Structure 1
Amino acid sequence: MPIPLASSSLPRSLLRDDVYRRLRDAIVDGTFEPGEQLRDGDLAAWLGVSRTPVREALLRLGSSGLVVAHPGRSTTVSPIEEAALRDARDVVAAMHELAVRETVARLTPTDIARMRDANRRFTAAAARGDVSAALDADDDLHAVPVEVLGNAAVVTVLEQFGPIVRRAERLRFGSDAPAAAERHERFIALCEEGDAAAAAAMAYETWHTLPVSAAETAG
């Protein structure tokens, strides 16, 4: 869709990361669609910033695979390609598997309660068809072990490849939501029981429920 006409200017303290997150989120949530041209001047006006942080953000988005730069022309939003999505999904799954395996023994009752609350919010949002809220709740649930792990390298990898997976999840979100909520609850129970191996395996398998091809979707 075209760049929205209405947007509040960001504060003067805006950093490059803020511009990057705004543009990344606009791609992930479908505001900017695959193949859409992104002109730095238009984006700068929309965000209320100069072109410099926009150009830097577009470079970062290019390294993440969310946009494609055409030399001498404008930048476009990347299509969702099967190979790139499979690679990103596998990396994201591995990072979450690592986080869960290393932190199950350290999760507190408060951490478990946060995960259960996130799953309740996920279930409620999915039931009312609020995809954004459901995916935000899903993020909150899986973020708990990552936060407890406190590994900056894992966070960096997830920040790079997570948006690719999330964009595909948004487009394919639907009838699997009740089953996803049940998987979440089983996963949380394993964490609460302290079964690190089973919880880590389930975390890995959960991310692999996202189909990356037409054949997997049909299956």
Structure 2
Amino acid sequence: MPVPQPSADAAPRRLLRDVVFDKMLAAIHDGTLQPGERLNDDELVRWLGVSRTPIREAIAKLVDYGLVEMEANRYTRIATPTGRQYHEAFSVLFGFAELAARWAFPRFTDEDTDALDALLADVRTHAAARDRAVDDDVHALIGFLVDHADNALLTKLSASVLARARFVTVGSAEPVFAAAADAVASLRDAATHRDGEAGAAAVRALADGMADHLDAVRAADLATAEPEEAALVITSGPGI
């Protein structure tokens, strides 16, 4: 008999390594796996219920993302974020976000605008309450713009940056609540008018609002760095 064809709504099968990666990434972001915590193969096998191979493949990807660090025959552990990493991650992240906004807003449907409204409402609410959940709101907002830019390469390249940016906010300085709140109206207006340039400008304004904050984070890291590390911090590249 001929092989039956899958139904149109059948969900695509996912590789075990991708399932494991998503679970470990979520555990890093929610603090279940703490910075500096060592990863043990046997413990991960028991927790995730899979063999070592997909676990090691997932860990290799987390190493590429900068969320796990390894040294052969010594350790595999969750990385510990630094001020320099915080500055670098957000500098790159807002660059991606500005580009995504420029491409995404002209493509918006009414449903997209409504979905953006919901995200911006969370930003406004948490910023007004000075709630650190605004960090997650900003990450979700940027992810939404990237998803709606309809550019597969941008989506692929920004995945590791979004993951790293969420990671380095662990234990970071207080978010810039005012900058986040100020961005809401201009982003909403850009979405309403399907104006990509205005959307990009709104993201840029949000980045500028965080610039002093990011410089303070980098300066604090510089103050505690060894001389060789301090030189690297100073020359780590342009700000956002």
Report the TM range for the smaller structure's normalisation. Answer: 0.7 to 0.9
How do residues 1-219 of structure 1 correspond to structure 2 at under 5 angstroms?
A: 15-124=16-125, 131=132, 134-172=134-172, 174=174, 176-177=176-177, 179-207=179-207, 209=210, 211=214, 213=217, 215=219
* Counterpart amino acid of residue 160 in structure 2: Q
Number of aligned pairs?
A: 205
* Counterpart amino acid of residue 99 in structure 1: A
Residue 131 of structure 1 deviates from its aligned partner by 4.6
Contact 2:132–2:175 at 8 Å: present in 1 too?
A: no
Q: d(CA) in 2 for partners of 1:119 and 1:25?
A: 23
Q: d(CA) in 2 for partners of 1:188 and 1:142?
A: 14
TM normalised by structure 1 equals 0.78
Listed as ranges, the gaps of 5+ residues in structure 1 are 1-11
Larger of the two Rg values belongs to structure: 2
Q: d(CA) in 2 for partners of 1:49 and 1:205?
A: 45
Contact 1:67–1:77 at 8 Å: present in 2 too?
A: yes
Q: What is the percent sequence identity of the aligned residues?
A: 29
Listed as ranges, the gaps of 5+ residues in structure 2 are 1-12, 222-240
Residue 168 of structure 1 deviates from its aligned partner by 2.8
Residue deviations 1:37-70, cap 9 Å, x none?
A: 1112211211121111111111111111111101
Contact 2:183–2:203 at 8 Å: present in 1 too?
A: no
TM normalised by structure 2 equals 0.72
Q: d(CA) in 2 for partners of 1:120 and 1:173?
A: 23
Q: d(CA) in 2 for partners of 1:174 and 1:86?
A: 14
Residue 121 of structure 1 deviates from its aligned partner by 3.0
- Pairwise CA RMSD of aligned residues? 2.9
CA shift in 2, pair 1:214/1:142, >3 Å: closer
